[in-house]
Structure 1
C-alpha cells in the first residue's frame, strides 16, 4: 500500500481493480468493466473512470458478486495481505458469498462421479467431443 502522503487522490478503476487483486491483469479488469460486470456508485463505468476513497464498487466475477467500499488507493500491485487493506467488503455481500459457497458445497456432495477412469476408447471419444467445440 502506498504511503498516505504519496497516495493519489484519484485512480483509474481498471488499475485499482488490478492492484487490489480482483483481476490478474489490467486487461481482464478492462474486459470486465466493458462487459458491465463492474459498477461504481451504482452506475456503470468505463476503465478510465476516476476512483476515489469512499466510493462503492460492485464487482461480478464468475458466479460471485462482491460489494466493496474503497478505503485506499494504490497503483502498485503488492502482496494479497497488502491488497486487502485497500477495500472493505460489505456485510451483505459477505453473507451472500458465504450462502452461495455453502449451496455449492451441498450440491457438489450430490454430484454423481464416474465409477472409474475412462478407458482408451472413452478418452478418444472425449477428445473428439472437445475438439468439435
Structure 2
C-alpha cells in the first residue's frame, strides 16, 4: 500500500492530496529513513514517525487497512510507540538536553 493512501485510510490526513503535501514537506520517516516519495510502499511491521501539530508520533503498522473506515477501525491498524525510546527523529538523540549541565 502506498504511504499517501495509508495516511488517508488511517485518518491522519483528510484527503490523499493532503497526505501527499504532508509527505512532500519531508518530515515523515519510515523505519528511520526520510520519506521522499508519496508512492513509497508500506508493509506490516514498518515504523512511521509522524510530525503532528503538538508532538511527534511514532507508530508501528500492525495491519494494512482495506478502506477508510471509522476511527476505531483505523486505530486497530497501528500501535503508538514510545517517542522517547529507541525510535526518534534523527539527530535528536545527540542533541544536548535543555538545562543539562555541561562538564
Bigger helix fraction: 1
Q: Which has the larger radius of gyration?
A: 1
Counterpart residue number, 1:62 = 53
SS in 2 for 1:53: coil
SS in 1 for 2:18: helix
- Measured after TM superposition, the shift of residue 12 of structure 1 is 0.1
Aligned counterpart in structure 2 of residue 71 of structure 1, from 54, 57, 62: 62
SS in 1 for 2:67: coil
Q: What TM-score results when the alignment is normalised by the length of structure 1?
A: 0.59
- Measured after TM superposition, the shift of residue 57 of structure 1 is 0.1
Aligned counterpart in structure 2 of residue 30 of structure 1, from 11, 15, 20: 20
Aligned counterpart in structure 1 of residue 38 of structure 2, from 47, 50, 58: 47
- Stretches of 4+ aligned residues off by more than 2 angstroms: none
SS in 2 for 1:48: coil
When the two chains are superposed, the root-mean-square deviation of aligned CA atoms in Å is: 1.2
SS in 1 for 2:22: helix
Q: What TM-score results when the alignment is normalised by the length of structure 2?
A: 0.75
CA distance in 2, matches of 1:79, 1:44: 28
Unmatched 5+ stretches in structure 1: 1-10, 94-133
Q: Is the 8 A contact 2:56 2:83 kept in 1?
A: no
* Count of matched residue pairs: 83
- Measured after TM superposition, the shift of residue 92 of structure 1 is 3.1
CA distance in 1, matches of 2:34, 2:83: 21
